[in-house]
Amino acid sequence: MNGVGARVEGVRYSYGAGEALRGVDLAVGAGEQVVLLGPNGAGKTTLTRLLVALRRPSAGRVTVGDWDVAGRRPDEMARRVGYAFQHADQQLFARSIEEDVAFGPRCLGRRRPAVGALLEELGLGARARLHPYDVPAPTRKLVALAGVLAMEPPLLVLDEPTAGLDHEQRDVVLAALRRRAAAGVTVLSVSHDLAFVAEAADRVVVMREGRIVADRRARELLYDREALAELGLRPPATVEVSVGLGLQGRPVRAHEVVAAMRGIRWREELSE
Amino acid sequence: MTALVALNRVSFSYPGAERPALEAVSLEVLPGEVIAATGAAGAGTSTLLLVATGFAPRIVGGTLTGVRTIAAARCGVVFARPWTQLTGLCPTVRDEVAFGPASRGLARADVLAAAERALERLGIAHLAARDPAQLSGGELQRVVVAAALALEPEVLALDDPAAELDPEAADALYDALPGLAAADAAVLLATPDLERAARVATRAVAMASGRIVAEGAPEKVLTGTEVARLARAAGCPPPWPMDLAALRRRVAPDTAR
């Protein structure tokens, strides 16, 4: 599957009194893996909602591939952009997990969507027939993600895809996103989670007070302690360990760090 | 010291559920404690909070067995999904935070003072005049914590209270928890964030399938941190170091890298 890029130009947006976006320009290339970072209230979620026509900018232009979003309805945009809300509960409504996940592809005209493999991929296979509200909230997040992936959109927009998930579920999400990335799908995520950035981003765009204030390669930013501190962030554990142990090659992903640690000889626990 | 909450072999099932969400859980919550409960999704940490504060089964229904004693005069709960507990009645954040103390029937001046204190503590005084419906997820989460705090609860239960917060705000919230667990109050925390929990908890419980599987000092219980996972994957023998300092102590001096 080929990914599709997105572009916002000179975009502004206001919620009543406060201006949430104050002139934003951003181009995301087809197949890029981008994370939007920034403090609460920076405008990250607002920006992503413009891409699916859930909100309309008061000024500026938004395009997804060759589509101008201004002339499109949210249901049309859903063919190109898969949007996972920060709160899964905002997008779950069917009586069973499998029905919920099949809803999107049905809307695209597929009579009998094959969602079984997808549910297996996200570790939901055994729960397919349960009501979405009979599984814990973090698991519902995976259900909502499955519903988005089921439509096989060329652009994924994910708002805090790992918030509240346990380690195992995070690994499931990361693996699923890695497979989409390898297939060329573009992924734009909003996240506060630098461990997620380390595993899933090529590029990091930082927002603050409705503007883009930095745009960096992920690997470079994660080793730039000063820049992170300025953003109120600390490096992820992988980078802390890499720096703390003097590992070679600036690894950022867990498997890279583990590979670089292989040569270490360990002491048994020291008695203190 | 009298426990604010005491659970003695308490089991709890949600209405219509096939399996209990909590099974034979025993736990005492003492004044001054910050107790962190961790576990995989579905382990029962959220349910533990609801049961310990009396919200389950009183509000959510279901069946409770065993002996539960809640001595705390007031319990505040912050749910994992903050928008679910907005009153929907208040045009401003200040009103929202004042709603709890106002419904306790306090004098107006005391209500406002409690609200202001809570807003200050969460660092959101600047949001006081905003419409709660127009806040970002992270701002809303702090409003909801402030609203619970304004009740001046003796047990404050927080379900993953930093899920929506940026790292700076998350640090600030966690660092405030020991201060909230005052001489006569305690904090009960359900969280997947082992690193932050380890920094502030006085005690930790690990849960799996509705049961408490480990309980004690945070450094003994919260052993699944990112650093510990990396150390384990890289062949470091157990017990796995929880943080970088401990990891560095485990590297043999003559090691090749």
Q: Which residues contact A167 (CB under 8 A, 6 or more apart)?
A: B40, B192, B224, B229
Decide if B250 and A266 are in contact by the 8 Å CB cutoff. Answer: yes
Q: Are A168 and A69 members of one domain? A: yes
State the pLDDT at residue B254: 77
pLDDT tens-digit readout, A6-48: 999 999 999 877 899 999 999 999 999 999 999 888 999 999 9
Residue A130 near residue B73, CB atoms below 8 Å = no
pLDDT, average across residues B163-184? 85
pLDDT, average across residues B119-147? 90
Token readout for A212 is 């883009």
Pairing of strands A186-190, A203-208: unpaired
State the pLDDT at residue B134: 86
- Higher-confidence residue of B138 and B57: namely B57
Q: Which residues of B touch A254 (CB under 8 A)?
A: 229-230, 233
For chain A, give the longest Cα–Cα distance.
69
- The per-residue pLDDT of chain B, averaged, comes to 91
Which of B48, B135, B136 is the best substitution to test chain A (most A C-beta atoms within 10 A)? B136
Lowest mean pLDDT among A93-102, B48-57, B128-137: B128-137
Last residue of a domain, one of A152, A175, A204: A152
Q: Which domain holds residue A127?
A: 92-152
Q: Are A117 and A71 members of one domain? A: no
Question: What secondary structure, in 3-state letters, does B60-115 show?
Answer: CCCEEEEEEEECCCCEEEECCCHHHHCCCCCCCHHHHHHHHHHHCCCCHHHHHHHH
The CATH number covering residue A212 comes to 3.40.50.300
User: B31: cis peptide before it, omega within 30°?
Assistant: no
Q: Is A272 part of any domain?
A: no
Q: Which residues of A touch B195 (CB under 8 A)?
A: 237
Lowest mean pLDDT among A88-92, A183-187, B89-93, B115-119: A88-92
Q: Is A85 part of any domain?
A: no
Decide if A136 and B42 are in contact by the 8 Å CB cutoff. Answer: yes
Q: Are A68 and A5 members of one domain? A: yes
Q: Are A74 and A128 members of one domain? A: no
Q: pLDDT exceeding 90 applies to what percent of chain A?
A: 79
B1-74+155-161+185-221: CATH superfamily? P-loop containing nucleotide triphosphate hydrolases (3.40.50.300)
Q: Are A105 and A175 members of one domain? A: no
For A253, name the nearest residue in chain B, comparing CA atoms only. Answer: B230
State the pLDDT at residue B52: 97
For A254, name the nearest residue in chain B, comparing CA atoms only. Answer: B230
Closest to B36 in 3D by CA, of B247, B169, B212 = B212
Most confident of A10-14, A167-171, B57-61, B137-141: A10-14
The number of C-beta contacts closer than 8 angstroms across A and B is: 150
Decide if B230 and A265 are in contact by the 8 Å CB cutoff. Answer: no
State the pLDDT at residue A33: 98
Q: Are A22 and A135 members of one domain? A: no
pLDDT tens-digit readout, B10-41: 999 999 888 899 999 999 999 999 999 999 88
Decide if B167 and A138 are in contact by the 8 Å CB cutoff. Answer: no
Q: Which residues of B touch A85 (CB under 8 A)?
A: none
Work out the minimum CA distance from B6 to partner chain A, whole angstroms: 25
Q: Is the pLDDT of residue A1 over 70?
A: no
Q: pLDDT exceeding 90 applies to what percent of chain B?
A: 66
- Number of domains making up chain A: 3
Pairing of strands B34-38, B186-190: parallel
Which of B195, B226, B240 is the best substitution to test chain A (most A C-beta atoms within 10 A)? B226
pLDDT bin (cut points 50, 70, 90) of residue A272 is low
Last residue of a domain, one of A152, A167, A197: A152
Q: Is the pLDDT of residue B139 over 90?
A: no
State the pLDDT at residue B256: 59
State the pLDDT at residue A64: 97
Which of A191, A233, A269 is the best substitution to test chain B (most B C-beta atoms within 10 A)? A269
Lowest mean pLDDT among A84-88, B65-69, B93-97: A84-88
pLDDT, average across residues A146-153? 96
Decide if B235 and A266 are in contact by the 8 Å CB cutoff. Answer: yes
pLDDT tens-digit readout, B69-102: 999 999 999 988 788 888 888 999 999 999 999 9
Last residue of a domain, one of A129, A152, A175: A152
Which of B168, B189, B220, B242 is the best substitution to test chain A (most A C-beta atoms within 10 A)? B168
Q: Is the pLDDT of residue B179 over 70?
A: yes
Work out the minimum CA distance from B219 to partner chain A, whole angstroms: 15
For B81, name the nearest residue in chain A, comparing CA atoms only. Answer: A87
Residue A260 near residue A249, CB atoms below 8 Å = yes
State the pLDDT at residue A270: 66
Interface confidence (ipTM) of the complex? 0.84
Domain with CATH 3.40.50.300 in chain B: 1-74+155-161+185-221
Decide if B227 and A240 are in contact by the 8 Å CB cutoff. Answer: yes
A61: left (phi over 0), alpha (psi -120 to 50) or beta: beta
Q: Is the pLDDT of residue A2 over 80?
A: no
Decide if A262 and B227 are in contact by the 8 Å CB cutoff. Answer: no
pLDDT tens-digit readout, A54-70: 999 999 999 999 999 99
Decide if A167 and B229 are in contact by the 8 Å CB cutoff. Answer: yes
Q: Is A270 part of any domain?
A: no
Q: Are A67 and A100 members of one domain? A: no
Decide if A266 and B230 are in contact by the 8 Å CB cutoff. Answer: no
Burial of B229 (0-12, 13-18, 19+ CB in 10 A): middle
Q: Is the pLDDT of residue A166 over 60?
A: yes
Q: Is the pLDDT of residue B5 over 60?
A: yes
For B138, name the nearest residue in chain A, comparing CA atoms only. Answer: A40
Q: Are A50 and A121 members of one domain? A: no
Q: Are A6 and A72 members of one domain? A: yes
Q: Is the pLDDT of residue B257 over 90?
A: no
